Structures are given as C-alpha cells and as structure tokens.
Amino acid sequence: MKNNHLLVVGLLLSFLSFNLSNAQTDVIEQTNESIKYHANVNNSLTKKELSQIKEAYGDMAETLILNHPQRLKDLKHLLRNRIEIYTQDDIAKQKQTKLLSEVLLFTKYNKNLKRDTEFRLETFNPLKYELDFFAKGTYVYRIDNTNYFIQITSQYRQ
C-alpha cells in the first residue's frame, strides 16, 4: 500500500514537472513571437547609436552588445522605434509623471557616467538612464524644467 502511494506521488510530481517546464517554454516562445521588429533594425548602427551604446556600456559594449546580434537588434529596435521624445506645451495636456532626475543613472558598466546638466535633444542618450526599457507597459518620463517628455513604448505592443 505504501509503495502504491509513493508511485502515485512520483507520477504526479513527474507530470507536474513536465507541465511546468512546457509552460516555461510556451511563455518564452510566445514572448519571442510577440515582439514585432521593424525592418530598420537590419540596418547598420549609426555613429550616434554606436556612441550611445559605448557611452552606456563603456569597455563592455563589444562584449555585451556589439558581439551579440540579438541584443544589438533589441537595442536598435529600442533606439529607433520605441523611444519617442516629444514636447507638450499645453500644460493641461502634460502628464504627471516621473521626472528624469528621479531615475538612476545606469552605471553598472560605466562608473563614469554623468547626469546631463542641461537637456539637448541632439546629444541626449537615453541608455545612460535606468528607464523601463523592457517592461510590458508604456512609460513616460518628463525631462526636468522642460516641456520635453520621453515615451518608451513596450516592445510587446502591436
């Protein structure tokens, strides 16, 4: 009788283990399939994009990003298609949102990063900040003392 219980428990554990591992695989496959890349991610990096990556990742840029086609594709998609910087002059339409000054700098790979003292659209590098780049939702941040907003659209949004 005791052996039958052990056999049943063993079979249940095997079944649950198999189903959980399949569920993880299904989630990974669904996630990968749900990201729709624009054709522009196949184009080479621009000088500005390469500079942004090198600034944020420092000496680890090649090792972590440039030598990994999928990571590079994800960053190109982020920089080219998912980050929008816009102005909103109408105070009534401005969103109450987190200020850029409240976001930490992304100093994991480049300890020498400095926060911008003045916002200039041409030189702004969003990769310097720990913004919610890979969250499922769309996030908006306000650049302090300006009418500029940074909108990061989810990579899963159709």
β-pairing, 98-99 with 139-142? parallel
Domain co-membership, 96 together with 139: yes
- Tokens found for residue 62: 């090649």
pTM value is 0.75
What pLDDT does 158 receive? Answer: 61
Burial of 150 (0-12, 13-18, 19+ CB in 10 A): buried
CB 92 within 8 A of CB 21: no
Q: Which amino acid is at 71?
A: R
Parent domain of 47? 35-152
**Is 52 found in the same domain as 14?**
no
Residues forming a β-bridge with 80: none
Query: pLDDT band at residue 107, thresholds of 50, 70 and 90?
Result: very high
**Which residues make Cβ contacts (< 8 Å) with residue 109, sequence separation at least 6?**
56, 57, 58, 59, 60, 61, 64
Q: Domain total for the chain?
A: 2
The answer as to whether 157 is a domain residue is no
Residue 158 resides in a domain: no
Residues 148 and 142 sit within 8 Å (Cβ to Cβ): yes
A 10 A CB-CB count for 124 gives 17
pLDDT in tens, 16-67: 343 433 333 233 333 454 788 999 999 999 999 999 999 999 999 999 999 9
* Statement to judge: residues 82 and 136 lie in one domain: yes
State whether 61 and 17 are in the same domain: no
Same domain, 57 and 123: yes
Report yes or no on 53 lying in a domain.
yes
51: tokens are 């500079």
Q: Please name the residues in contact with 135: beta carbons below 8 A apart, sequence gap of 6 or more.
A: 152, 154
